[in-house]
Chains A and B, each alone.
Chain A
C-alpha cells in the first residue's frame, strides 16, 4: 500500500499490531463478527503510519460502540447516536488527529440519523465504520432501520412493516464523497478498504456486513457462504471491469439507464462491454446504482464504491482562519475590546 500523505504527523518508527492492542477484556460474544473487524483495524492502524497518539476512536451506544475499549488509542465511548456529532467536534478542534467513528445500524441509521447525514454533507475528514448486523444486539434483538421488510424480531413478531435503509444510498444521498462496503468474513478486503478510507480526505463511510451470532445469526449467509460468495458478491477494483462469478464469467453492463448482469461470452458479450469501475467519478450516478444492487437480481457490490475529491470542512475552517487572521487588524482581545466606538470618561 502506498503511504498516506497529509498533515497528520507520522510515526518515526514502524508501528505494529501490538502497538494498538488494548489491555481490556473483549466482551463481545464468541463468534461475533465484531472480533474480525477489530483485528482488521489493529492491522490497518500501523499501516496507516500516523503517530499512535494521533488516533482517536469515538463511538455511540451498542455492541459496536464498545470498540474504543478494545483498541489502544485515545477513545471516547459516548451516548446513543451522537458519535458523529462528537467526532465532528474532535476533528474540527484538532485537525491533526485521525478520527474514527465506530457505530452500528441502530446508532447511526436511527437515533443518530440526523448527525450521520450532516457529517457526510459537511465532508468532515473522519472515517466511519458502520457495523451493519440488521438488528439491535445490545438491547437483545429488536429490528433496526436496516432489517429487511418482513423481519421477525422481538418487536416485530409478525414481521416488520417498514422499509429498510440501504446505508450506501443514504451516504450518496447526503452527498457522500466516500463509501465502501466490506464483510466480516473477508478480513483482507476490510483492511484494504479501511486503508482507502483513511487515505480519503473527507468523510469516509465503511459499511461492514456483520453477523450477530445471537440475534440475527446467518443474516448474510446467502451472500457469504463459501459455495455462493463468488456468485453473489461483486468485488469492485478501480479501473477494472466489473466481473464476478466462480468462473469470472459474469459481469455488469450499463443497458440504457440501468445496470444489468450479463454472461461473458454469451450473445457476443466480451469484457469490453462491461462497466469499468471509476470510484473517483464526481457524478455519483453509477455509484448509487452499484450501492443499490441487491441479491438475487444482482450481486452485492463490495469494496470502494465511491471515493471522490471534494473540499473538507476542517480544511476550509483552517484556511478561513488563516486568511481572516492575515487580513484583520484585531490580533488579540485588547484590540477587540478597544475596537469600534469607544470614548473616555474623565
Chain B
C-alpha cells in the first residue's frame, strides 16, 4: 500500500506516544510500529509506560497504559515530548496531554469520548469539542463505529470487534509516517494463524485506519529520515533481555555454566523470565522462595563452579545485603543485577530512579567492597552484564550491575555482535591436585583461586568467619583481620588498572562539564550534543564503572569552570565523587520524580549555569 499525497514533509526525528486503557493493546501496536520503523531504516528507542495494576477499572486514569517511541536519523533516548499522541479514551488524553508538544497531532477514538468516560477521566466537558485542544492538530476518528461497519460480515462478537481498534490507530500512524503495512500484515497472519477470522479482522481494520487517514485531506504526511547506523545486522532489544543475553554470553565465553537464583520483582522479572527460556543453552534458573534464597542459592552455585547471578530491584537488594557480605568474605564470583526503581520501600515499582547507588556501594555490614558497574542504555545492558560477569569471575569478587526500569523496559536497535569479537574470560580455576590454599593470592591482582567441589585434591572449606591469610583457617587475629580487610578492598581497586580510561565527549577543558552515570546517558548526551552544535563550551563525561572508578577520573573532572553532576536521585554519585575527589567544586542537577531527564530541561539548566560564569 502506498499513498498518493504530494505534500510530504521530512523530519530528522519524531516522537509518538500511544495511550489507552490497559487492555487496549498499546504495547502491541507500539512494538509493531517500532519493528516497521526499524525495518524501513529508522534508528529508534522505545519506552513502555504502564501502571502497576494489571487491569485497573475501565476508563480511569489508573488504568492508562502508554508506549513512547522515538524514531529517526539518530536517536539516543525514547524522546521528551511527543509529536503525535494517540489517546484511545478520555483518561488517556487527560494523563498524557502533558507529554505532547504544543501543536502536536492528537489522534483520539471519538467513540470512546462518551459522557460517562469523560466524567470518569475528570473532565467537565468533552475535550474533543469544547475547544480546549485548539492549539493541537486533532484527528477525531470514530474507531469503534468504523470497526463495527467494516467487520459486520465477519460476524465477530462485540468484544473481538472492539479489540481491533488499536490496529485502526496503527493504520493512521502508518499513513502519517509513510510506512508500509506489509510487516504488520505478515505478523497478524502468523500470530492468528489458528484463528483466520481474527487475523482477517485485524488486517481489515489496519487498512481501514490507513484509508481513513488518506481521506482526511488536512493531515500532512511526514517522512522521517533514515538512520545513519553503521552497517551490520540489527535487532530490536530491551535492556532486560539484553542483560539476560549478556550474562549468557559471559557464560559461554567463560565456559562456566549459568545459574540464576531469583525472585520475581518489578522491573527485574523479565530477566528471570528470559533466562528461564534458555534451557536450550543449559541455563539453570531457580525461582527461589524469597530474595534471600535467590542470592544464597547463587552463592552456593558459585561455590560449585557456576557463573552465578541473582536479579532484583531495590527492595530485593536490601534483603540480599547480608548474603552479599558472605560472597565478599568468601571471595566468590557473583553477579547481582539491580534494576532500580523508585524507592524507598515499595516506592514506585514501575518507575525509574537511580537511588540505589549508595546501597550498592555501602549497604553491607563491615567493610565489604564490591565491583559496581552501571549500564548506560538498553543495548549497553548486554555489554555491561558481560563485563560485570567477566570482572567478577576473573577477580573472584561479587559484583553489582545497576540498570534501571527506564533502560530495562526501554528498547533500542542492537547491532548484533559476533561472539568471537567479545573478549575472552578466564576465571582462575585451581587445577586438580595442585598446591591450593584457599586464600593464597596472585601477587599482582590479589585474586585467590577457585577450587571447585568435585576436583581431586582440593578439599577445603570457606565461610563467613574471618579466615587467616593464605591458609584460610578461622582466625580472630587482629592484624590478620586488618590485612584481609585491606586485601579485599585493594583487590577491587586494582581492577581499575584493567578498565578502559574514562572518555570525555567534547573537550578536556572549558566552561561546563556535565557528569552522569547509568541509565541517563542518552538524555545527557543529546543535551550536550545540542549545545555544542550551537557553539557552547560544554562537555560530557558519563560513568559506567562506579567501583572502582576509572584511573583517570580525577583528571577528567579537572579543567572546567563548572562541573555539574546530574542524577535521578538527590545526589548520591556526587557524594561519592566528593568523598574521592573533594577538590572539585561540584554542582548538582537532581530529579526524583520517577521520570527520566528530558533533553529540554537539561539544556535549560545548563544554559542557566553558563549564564553565571
* Chain A residues with a Cβ under 8 A of chain B: 24, 51-54, 56-58, 61, 68-69, 72-79, 82, 85-94, 96-97, 114-115, 118, 317, 320-321, 324-325, 327-328, 330-334, 336-338, 340-346
Contact = CB atoms under 8 A, between A and B. Distances in A.
Contacts of A58: 300
B289 A343 contact: no
13 contacts: A53-B456, A69-B461, A75-B460, A75-B462, A93-B300, A94-B453, A334-B418, A336-B278, A337-B235, A342-B235, A343-B39, A345-B230, A345-B415
A89 to B, nearest CB: 3
Interface in B16-55: 35, 38-39, 41
Contacts of A76: 300, 303, 330, 461-463
Contacts of A72: 459
B2 interface: no
A73 B236 CA distance: 48
A112 to B, nearest CB: 9
Indicate the member of A74, A75, A115 with the most B CB atoms within 10 Å. Answer: A74
Interface stretch (B150-158, B279-287, B603-611): B279-287
A332 B252 contact: yes
Q: How large is the interface on B (under 10, 10 to 19, 20 to 34, 35 or more residues)?
A: 35 or more
Contacts of A327: 280
A86 B308 contact: no
B530 to A, nearest CB: 25
A92 B230 contact: no
Nearest first, the 10 closest Cβ-Cβ pairs linking A and B are: A89-B300, A77-B463, A75-B461, A328-B280, A89-B297, A85-B296, A93-B301, A86-B300, A74-B453, A94-B304
A79 B284 contact: no
Contact of B281 (A53, A61, A317, A330): A330
A188 B35 CA distance: 70
Contact of A118 (B234, B235, B249, B289): B289
Contacts of B301: 89-90, 92-94
Contact of A343 (B38, B252, B308): B38
B245 A333 contact: yes
Nearest to A116: B289
B233 A343 contact: yes
A346 B417 CA distance: 16
A87 B279 contact: no
Contact of B259 (A57, A61, A92, A118): A92
B549 interface: no
B245 A337 contact: yes
A3 to B, nearest CB: 20
B423 interface: no
Contacts of A53: 453-459
Interface in B435-481: 452-465, 473-474
Contact of A90 (B227, B235, B300, B456): B300
Contacts of A343: 38-39, 233-235
B214 interface: no
B315 to A, nearest CB: 17
A336 B281 contact: yes
B602 interface: no
Interface in B205-244: 227, 229-236
Given A69-B474, A77-B461, A317-B284, A345 B456 contact: no
A92 B281 CA distance: 16
B288 interface: yes
A77 B455 CA distance: 19
Contacts of A96: 454
